[in-house]
A and B are shown apart, each in its own frame.
Chain A
Amino acid sequence: MDSHTETLALREQFETPSQQKEASAMGMWIFLVTEVMFFGGMFLAYTVYRKAFADVFSIASNTLNVVIGAVNTGVLICSSFTMVLAVRAARIGSRRLLILFLILTMLLGTAFLGIKGYEWNQKFQEHHVPGATFHLEGTAQQGPAELFFSLYFMMTGVHAAHMVVGVGILMTLLFQTFAGKYGAEYYTPVDMAGLYWHFVDIIWIYLFPLLYLIGRHHHLHG
């Protein structure tokens, strides 16, 4: 085999740049599959308990602010759009656009976290945070109500943690772009960060209807 000069786009162990990229994408998707299973366990727990305590979960779900939830979904979708444009900018070799869209994506991600923080703060004021001072109006079953909010905080919290990591990754990419690491011939990390960012978006696409919407018309069984 003829020896090739090692570059970022073509490491020694690969035959072609596209083979190398394929390997990276495969690794990233396998990681995302493990993330699906990680979140899947929580979605499953939510489903099982929602079935077991349908009335309380509906009452608790109705205390969530649907408008804030919907707006935040919109913010996250905007950030996915700017992220895909960042990947496209890298692909066509436009450093200027890549920097612009990375910054926009980071800002939108941070906006999402800010809105989430505002929402969590409201929960503290309303005593809807599981713990000694927990109280949910309109039901005698405080235990299951607390369970709903435990799941709410765990799921939105772990999701938000993923967002924080995502913003950190974007910031790293931004500095590396400034340093001139990425161009049309090599931008795999930008592409992989995009996959991660969109995955976190997909998790929220399910969290929003499950936590905020589907309990709105539950008919109480007394």
Chain B
Amino acid sequence: MDEHIDSVKTYAAVFVALLFLTFATTMVSTIDLGPLNVVAALAIAAIKMMLVALFFMHLRHSTTIMKVVIGGGLLWLGILLLLTLADFTTRGWLPVPGK
């Protein structure tokens, strides 16, 4: 378990980065990038999530078993999203007899 104390400076740097990324994602959304707008928004959100999880939730000091448990959780979320979207996006690709 982490017996490590991060410095206030580290937390402040992460805090400033999070505020900057919030500003950045808002600004980027005013520019028309076509489909890349969604990609940019989700990429910035993912970076912010990693910053919060690694530094504020101290995940970078966590044990491997903890990371495996969390990774397992995200894997199930991935299955939920991926398989459902695979269904919805491919409907209508093939003709259904009698329909």
Q: For the complex of A and B, list the 9 residue pairs with the smallest distance between their C-beta atoms, beginning with the closest.
A: A33-B73, A209-B41, A213-B29, A81-B15, A217-B32, A18-B1, A22-B1, A70-B26, A84-B56
> How many angstroms between the C-alpha atoms of A25 and B69 in the bound complex?
11
Number of B residues whose C-beta is below 8 Å from A?
Answer: 50
Given the interface contacts A33-B70, A84-B56, does A209 sit within 8 Å of B29 by beta carbon? yes
Choose one: A18, A40, A85, A214; the contact of B80 (CB below 8 Å): A40
Q: Say what secondary structure dominates the interface of chain A.
A: helix
Query: What residues on A are CB-neighbors of B53 within 8 Å?
Result: 198, 202
Chain A residues in the interface with B (C-beta under 8 A): 18-19, 21-22, 25-26, 29-30, 32-33, 36-37, 40-41, 43-44, 47-48, 51-52, 66, 70, 73-74, 77-78, 80-81, 83-85, 88, 91-92, 194-195, 198-199, 201-202, 205-206, 208-210, 212-214, 216-217
> How many angstroms between the C-alpha atoms of A198 and B56 in the bound complex?
7
- Shortest Cβ distance from residue A108 to the other chain B in the assembled complex, whole angstroms: 12
Instruction: Determine if B1 and A213 form an interchain contact, defined as CB atoms under 8 angstroms apart.
Output: no
Query: What residues on B are CB-neighbors of A47 within 8 Å?
Result: 81, 85
What would 20 more interface pairs be, CB under 8 Å, given A52-B88, A77-B19, A208-B22? Answer: A22-B1, A26-B69, A40-B80, A44-B81, A48-B85, A51-B89, A70-B23, A81-B12, A81-B56, A84-B11, A91-B5, A92-B5, A198-B57, A208-B25, A209-B41, A209-B44, A210-B41, A214-B37, A217-B29, A217-B32
